Copies of this chain bind each other. A is one copy, B any other.
Amino acid sequence: MGKVFKVAIAGLGTVGGGTVKLLKQNAEEISNRCGKKVEIVALCSRRKTHINVDFDVSDIPWYDDAVQMAKEVDADAIVELIGGSEGVAREVCETAIKSGKSLVTANKALLAMHGNELAKLADDNNVNIAYEAAVAGGIPIIKSIREGLAGNKILSISGILNGTCNYILTTMKETGRGFDDVLAEAQAKGYAEADPSFDVDGIDTAHKTAILAALAFGVPIDFGNTYVEGIRKISARDIANADEFGYKIKLLGIAKVSDKGIEQRVHPCFVPKDEPIANVDGVFNAVVVKGDFVGTSLFAGRGAGERPTASSVVSDIIDLARGHDERFFGLSSEFTKVKPISTRDDFESSYYIDLEVEDKSGVVADIGKILKEENLSIEKLIQRGRGTKESNVVNLVMILHSSKEGGLI
């Protein structure tokens, strides 16, 4: 590496455009901080006419084929901002590493599916993979876990990792409106995709959770063993019930060490209103990390978007330019150990149950009996009378004491 650090960028959509802007706009600060100039030596995008960079890039060599660029270009690092777990993005990443270039990527789907092979490939080729932008946008959570808290045994991580879901849940809470209604509005505003399932069904959160779990616990990435439940079934009534009990509903990605192994799960959670993470609203993300020495730490910020994600991409570039030699998992891939993943039956939580039951003698006693047989006990209960004269239905909302999920399924 000389006095210039050379990067080639594949993909000039929202994040790629932001990355070019940031490298140009803050070039002086960046070169002071690296002790060398960071130079964009090549660009590549599907459609040359639709790139989103705001800067004149006509003097920068252009490739139409990202894989060819990854292979041929004389660069210290390839920045992959194409996206998707297969196809061109995957090929670009593998080609970059095999040709001895470090990789900077924001591609959580690719890492969740193929991160282990890529990490091995990077070790074999003695290059780095930097992926701060893949999780929680502008929040430097990868660096914080891998380096800032590196002395700790990490006990658990839980995070609001998808801005679309957090925006929807926040808006439902603030307006009392239903899921479908708020989703449609989020789509109209560009906060949600036309096909929103990756976000609202929790898959994106699960990708990020699996990456964080691997990094925190020194295990291979295991997306397949992540329990995933999204927010489609959350109703305005659930949110009102949570509010009445003193909680907000947040979609959390959770990774923790239990006596059965490592739990990875994504599902809506009741979060006490006075916890700082409960007030991380709208498109913001947040991650709570518990370590054996540091205790509980919270990291919050913008989880997506052109500029915050570019901030993380460029911090990775600066790290590489400074000569930081960080292994993918914060340790050599030979040290990553396979640990058992506990199953859903073993998950232990307090559960929220919303029942509508016939208002007749003995029903509540019956429910109490069933709960008792399963060793479940009620921590908080709200009983609401009949809504209308015609209805014979009574509403029982309860929060149970902590128990294994096995007893509830």
Of the candidates B25, B279, B299, the one whose C-beta lies within 8 Å of that of A274 is B279
Closest to A302 in B: B295
- Complex interface: chain B residues within 8 A of A326 (CB): 322
How many copies of this chain?
A: 2
Which interface class (under 10, 10 to 19, 20 to 34, 35 or more) fits A?
A: 35 or more
- Supposing A132-B148, A144-B148, A330-B33 touch, asked if A139 and B310 sit within 8 A by C-beta, the answer is no
B293 touches A297 (CB 8 A): no
Whether, in the assembled complex, A188 has its beta carbon less than 8 Å from a beta carbon of chain B, the answer is: no
B151 touches A30 (CB 8 A): yes
B26 touches A153 (CB 8 A): yes
Within 8 A of B (CB), among A290-328: 291-302, 307-308, 310-315, 317-319, 322-327
- Complex interface: chain B residues within 8 A of A332 (CB): 32, 35
- Supposing A139-B297, A276-B279 touch, asked if A149 and B315 sit within 8 A by C-beta, the answer is yes
Of the candidates B32, B274, B298, the one whose C-beta lies within 8 Å of that of A218 is B32
A147 touches B143 (CB 8 A): yes
- Complex interface: chain B residues within 8 A of A292 (CB): 25-26, 307
CA–CA, A112 and B193, complex, Å? 49
Of the candidates B139, B315, B331, the one whose C-beta lies within 8 Å of that of A147 is B315
B331 touches A307 (CB 8 A): no
Which of A22, A275, A276, A331 has its CB near the most chain B CB atoms (within 10 A)? A276
- Distance between A393 CB and nearest chain B CB, rounded to angstroms: 36
A318 touches B274 (CB 8 A): no
Closest to A278 in B: B279
CA–CA, A313 and B294, complex, Å? 11
- Complex interface: chain B residues within 8 A of A138 (CB): 149, 291, 293-295, 297
Whether, in the assembled complex, A18 has its beta carbon less than 8 Å from a beta carbon of chain B, the answer is: yes
- Distance between A322 CB and nearest chain B CB, rounded to angstroms: 7
CA–CA, A330 and B279, complex, Å? 32
A299 touches B298 (CB 8 A): yes
A323 touches B322 (CB 8 A): no
CA–CA, A140 and B299, complex, Å? 10
- Supposing A293-B308, A297-B301 touch, asked if A140 and B151 sit within 8 A by C-beta, the answer is no
Whether, in the assembled complex, A29 has its beta carbon less than 8 Å from a beta carbon of chain B, the answer is: yes
- Complex interface: chain B residues within 8 A of A132 (CB): 148
- Complex interface: chain B residues within 8 A of A274 (CB): 279
- Distance between A290 CB and nearest chain B CB, rounded to angstroms: 10
Closest to A308 in B: B294
- Supposing A291-B311, A294-B311, A311-B291 touch, asked if A322 and B325 sit within 8 A by C-beta, the answer is yes
B18 touches A293 (CB 8 A): yes
- Complex interface: chain B residues within 8 A of A152 (CB): 26, 311
- Complex interface: chain B residues within 8 A of A299 (CB): 297-300
A-B contact pairs, 21 of them (CB 8 A): A22-B151, A23-B151, A26-B152, A26-B293, A29-B218, A138-B295, A140-B143, A147-B315, A149-B311, A150-B319, A151-B310, A151-B311, A151-B313, A151-B314, A276-B277, A276-B279, A293-B307, A294-B301, A294-B302, A295-B307, A298-B300
Taking Cβ atoms with an 8 Å cutoff, the residues of A that contact B are: 18, 22-23, 25-26, 29-30, 32-33, 35, 132, 138-140, 143-144, 147-153, 218, 274-280, 286, 291-302, 307-308, 310-315, 317-319, 322-327, 330-332, 335
